[in-house]
């Protein structure tokens, strides 16, 4: 059973709360294994999390994501036999050759309701500040396939949270992170198994899957 497990690589370079959540979610599973953490910051806290879960880590630099470079692609497809890539707080653009190698097998999570507040430079607290500056009445998460443009791949799933005029960006971040932790692993689980992203994951007031 173990040898036929689907193998995930998580790309993350930040705090790693989503990476931790996904590692914990799949840690007792035989059909899915988090097999690699790819990170571009040698001092990122997420590396410690991977070590705690005994997951191998790969530190990359800019040359690894330059179009046409093959060592990262080779490591993913051959050395680690990766089936599925999750971006969870990874800010560099993924080269088209790598995207092409993982069609419908590379997924990102973004902390807003795309297409709102996405694109290059929109990450972390900048997203929530933009939500507050635009006086949005709701925000949420978008889980989407990755293509060669920032935050533009096909949407798989969105979930919403209310934003009140009194909310600070930090408060919006807290609500959004709660959604990320609640839904990201389960949505990935369904996608990896070719199952529809079930409405059972959604409270009745929230958006239905795409």
**Which chain residues interact with ligand GRF by CB under 6 A?**
14-19, 88-89, 109-111, 180
Would you say 141 or 192 has its CB closer to ligand GRF?
141
Which two structure tokens, joined as six digits, stand for 162?
């209310």
Positions marked catalytic: 110
In the bound complex, what is the minimum distance in angstroms from residue 127's beta carbon to ligand GRF? 8
In the bound complex, what is the minimum distance in angstroms from residue 173's beta carbon to ligand GRF? 8
Ordered strands of the 106-110 beta sheet: 57-59, 32-39, 6-11, 84-87, 106-110, 138-145, 155-162
Would you say 37 or 109 has its CB closer to ligand GRF?
109
Asked if residues 151 and 143 have their Cβ atoms less than 8 Å apart, the reply is no
Would you say 55 or 88 has its CB closer to ligand GRF?
88
In the bound complex, what is the minimum distance in angstroms from residue 177's beta carbon to ligand GRF? 6
**Torsion, Cα of 133, 144, 183, 167 (10° steps):** 0
Would you say 38 or 88 has its CB closer to ligand GRF?
88
Distance CA 209, CA 70 (A): 35
CA distances from 210 to 84, 116, 118, 160, 205 (A): 20, 16, 18, 13, 15
In the bound complex, what is the minimum distance in angstroms from residue 147's beta carbon to ligand GRF? 16
Among 157, 153, 126, 121, smallest CA distance to 142 is for 157
């Amino acid at each position: 059973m173990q040898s036929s497990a689907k193998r995930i690589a998580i790309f993350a370079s930040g705090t790693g709360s989503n990476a931790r959540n996904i590692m914990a979610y799949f840690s007792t599973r035989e059909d899915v294994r988090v097999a690699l953490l790819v990170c571009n910051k040698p001092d990122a806290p997420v590396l410690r999390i991977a070590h705690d879960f005994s997951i191998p880590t790969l530190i990359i630099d800019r040359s690894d994501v330059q179009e046409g470079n093959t060592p990262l692609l080779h490591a993913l497809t051959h050395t680690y036999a990766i089936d599925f890539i999750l971006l969870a707080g990874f800010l560099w653009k993924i080269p088209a050759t790598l995207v092409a190698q993982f069609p419908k097998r590379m997924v990102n999570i973004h902390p807003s309701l795309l297409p709102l507040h996405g694109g290059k430079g929109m990450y972390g607290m900048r997203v929530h500040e933009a939500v507050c500056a635009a006086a949005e009445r709701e925000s949420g998460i978008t889980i989407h396939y990755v293509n060669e443009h920032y935050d533009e791949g096909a949407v798989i799933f969105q979930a919403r949270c209310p934003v009140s005029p009194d909310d600070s960006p930090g408060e919006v971040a807290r609500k959004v992170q709660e959604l990320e932790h609640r839904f990201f692993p389960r949505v990935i689980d369904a996608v990896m198994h070719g199952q529809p992203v079930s409405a059972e994951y959604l409270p009745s007031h929230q958006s239905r899957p795409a």
